[in-house]
Structure formats: C-alpha cells, structure tokens
C-alpha cells in the first residue's frame, strides 16, 4: 500500500477531532436560529457567543470587535472595500505579493476611481517599510499588507508598517489567514486595525472565518440584509462553523508554540535532505522570518506541475505555488515580484507541514523527490540551455 503524506496544510487542514466533537450537537440537537428569541434560538446564540469570546481572548481584543464571515476571501473583501467605501475616494496601499482576495479587490476599486500603489518586495519576498512610507499620500485611505505569504512563507515587518500607519492615522488591514493560530499575533503592539483569519487553515471547518475590526475604525458594510453581526455583516450565522472555529482557536492557543518548534525542526530536516540529494534547488522566501511549516522549493529546469503529479503518484500531496492558482501554467505572481528567474520560478513546489507530519514522512518525501526530479530533467527539461 502506498504511503500517504499530506504536505499542503497552507491550502487546508483536516478538522481536529476535538473540533468535530464540539460541532456535532449543532447539526442536530441545537438547531435554532441564533437570531430567534425563544429557547431554541438562545441555545444556538450561546454557542456563537462562546466562540466569539474564545477568539477574543486569543487575540486579546473585545468580542464586539469580531465579525464572522464565510472565509478569508470575504474577510479581505470586507476589510478593503469597507475601509475604502467608508471614505468614498482616495488612495490605497498594498503589496505585489498579496493573496488575490486583496489584489483583485484593489483592482476592482481602481475601477471605482480609487488610486492604488502596489509596493514591491525584495528577493526574499519581504516588503520594505520605507517603500510603504514613501507611497503614503495625503489622501491615503488604507494600507493592506499580509502577515505572511502562503506560497513562500515570508513573514512581513508588520510592526514597522503599523507604526507608520499609526503616525499618519491611516487604518492598517492585515491578512493573517496564514499566521493566525500558527505564530503569536498582538494586534495592539503591531498597530493592526483590521485582521483577517480563517478556520480551515487551523484545523477548523471550511466556510467560516472572521475579521477583527478595531473599535472606532470607520467602516461600511458590503453585505446588506438583516441585523446580524451588529449590522456589519448580514446573513444567518453559520452556527456549527462558528462553534468549530472557536474550538479550533482554543486548541491552537494550547498547542501553537510546541507545534511551531516541532515544525521548524522538521522543515529544516526537509530542506537539508532535499538539497543534499537534488542539485540546483533553492529554498525560496526569507531564511529565518518565515512560517514554521512552510518549505517552498525552486527546482531549476523542471516544471512544477510535473513534480506535483509525480509526488501524487507516490501518495504525497504538495502544491505548485498557491492552491488558489492551481492549473495556471504561468509563474506565480509572488515569485515574479521577487524577481525569481523564469527557469527557477517554473519549478516552484510548496510543501506545508502540519500536526500529523512526522520525521518519517519527511524522509519518505525526500526519497521520492530525488528520482522524480532527475527523471523529469532527463525527459522534460524546462528552459535548459
């Protein structure tokens, strides 16, 4: 039987058994609408309120500053559009390596007359806070910079950018979908006004996420209807999902630090194993300021989709860059912004480790990678001279 190794945790994670157990009653026994005032509704509302309080404790914020959404994409759209439309016009700053949920939202806002500056990154994928400072204009309405990149794992200098934003009284939105529950986040110390996070990246269910909105931040709703979420996001709450997200956050609060140390060690073992066995390979992203479990390899003169498919035949799940651009044969926009040469960028393979990953898994994948890359370079060289 082929060994199965899942190394795509940045795309999605299996739901933690403790999370499943907490959610189950909300599919059957506790089924009321949380907006209803009768006992059935109040039972559901208690689950929603408990989840909100758990997340608020984790972020050290007020429960009233949290809004539940359907996913990280909606949270990003809500944050960027909500800030922009609250001001009506003006200028936005983001980076060239953002998730498409932010990039395409900014592009859409350009169609409504907003000006957008897309700041670049260095060869490690890191934003220069000085470039953000130089981009600020008198009419800058908002800044949106991700906390960490899902493809290469680079953690951005949010604290420095947050200080700039505070000095200029410009609201700062941070897409923390890849860092929430993986590394510590202090929204006050970092100067964050809005923070996007999601459930299915931290062993919670899909279809549930949230947005932290600092009290006093000028925002408008982008979804209209009922009085839900203090009139900030209309729509009947996904009660089982919210309960699951709350439990997932509670579990992450307990396990996060120990898992980060373990995954960092496994990531180092992985990289050392690959570079010892495979010639012409690089580790993309920042060498130290990176997500604990993210290893993004660049294999020169080979096409990443072929490596992904070869590993899949060996029972190994990895991705070619971001899962949200799967099937796209163009190099990742992140690697392009980093200035990675085409002959390296086309061979980008992202491996993201998680709570089930073992040292034996890593050694197995290293054993699989070497012959796959060797064979591909022999029969399907990409960009070779």
Catalytic residues: 324
**317, containing H or E segment:** strand 316-317
C-alpha atoms less than 13 angstroms from C-alpha of 216 in its C-beta half-sphere: 5
Measuring CA to CA, how many Å separate 74 from each of 77, 177, 212, 364? 5, 12, 13, 38
Measuring CA to CA, how many Å separate 263 from each of 10, 79, 160, 167? 13, 31, 27, 36
Q: Are the C-beta atoms of residues 206 and 73 closer than 8 Å to each other?
A: no
In 278-358, which ranges are continuous DSSP H helix? 304-313, 333-337, 342-345
Distance of CA 301 to the CA centre of its chain: 29
Q: Are the C-beta atoms of residues 270 and 366 closer than 8 Å to each other?
A: yes
* C-alpha radius of gyration, the chain, whole number: 21
Burial of 351 (0-12, 13-18, 19+ CB in 10 A): buried
């Amino acid at each position: 039987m082929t060994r199965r190794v899942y190394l795509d945790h940045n795309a999605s994670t299996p739901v933690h058994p403790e999370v499943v157990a907490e959610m189950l009653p909300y599919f059957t026994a506790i089924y009321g609408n949380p907006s209803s005032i009768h006992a059935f509704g109040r039972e559901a509302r208690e689950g929603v309120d408990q989840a909100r309080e758990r997340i608020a404790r984790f972020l050290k914020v007020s429960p009233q500053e949290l809004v539940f959404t359907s996913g990280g994409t909606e949270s990003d759209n809500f944050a960027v559009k909500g800030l922009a439309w609250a001001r009506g016009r003006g200028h936005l700053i983001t980076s060239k390596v953002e998730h498409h949920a932010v990039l395409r939202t900014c592009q859409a806002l350009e169609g409504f007359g907003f000006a957008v500056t897309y700041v670049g990154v260095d060869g490690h994928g890191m934003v220069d806070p000085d470039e953000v400072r130089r981009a600020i204009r008198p009419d800058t309405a908002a800044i949106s910079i991700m906390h960490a990149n899902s493809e290469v794992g680079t953690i951005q200098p949010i604290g420095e950018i947050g200080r700039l934003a505070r000095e200029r009284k410009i609201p700062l939105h941070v897409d923390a979908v890849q860092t929430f529950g993986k590394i510590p986040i202090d929204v006050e110390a970092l100067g964050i006004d809005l923070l996007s996070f999601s459930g299915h990246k931290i062993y919670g269910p899909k279809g549930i996420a949230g947005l932290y909105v600092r009290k006093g931040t000028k925002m408008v709703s982008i979804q209209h209807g009922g009085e839900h979420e203090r009139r900030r996001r209309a729509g009947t709450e996904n009660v089982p999902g919210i309960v699951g997200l709350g439990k997932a956050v509670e579990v992450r609060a307990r396990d996060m630090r120990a898992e980060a140390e373990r995954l960092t060690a496994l990531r180092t073992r992985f990289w050392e194993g690959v570079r010892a066995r495979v010639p012409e390979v690089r580790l993309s992203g920042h060498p130290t300021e990176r997500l604990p479990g993210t290893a993004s390899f660049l294999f020169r003169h080979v096409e990443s989709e072929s490596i992904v498919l070869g590993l899949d035949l060996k029972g190994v799940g990895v991705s070619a860059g971001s899962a949200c651009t799967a099937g796209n044969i163009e190099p990742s926009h992140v690697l392009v912004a980093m200035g990675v040469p085409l002959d390296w960028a086309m061979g980008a393979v992202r491996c993201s480790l998680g709570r089930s990953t073992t040292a034996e898994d890593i050694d197995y994948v290293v054993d699989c990678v070497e012959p796959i890359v060797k064979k591909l370079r022999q029969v399907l060289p990409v960009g070779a001279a």
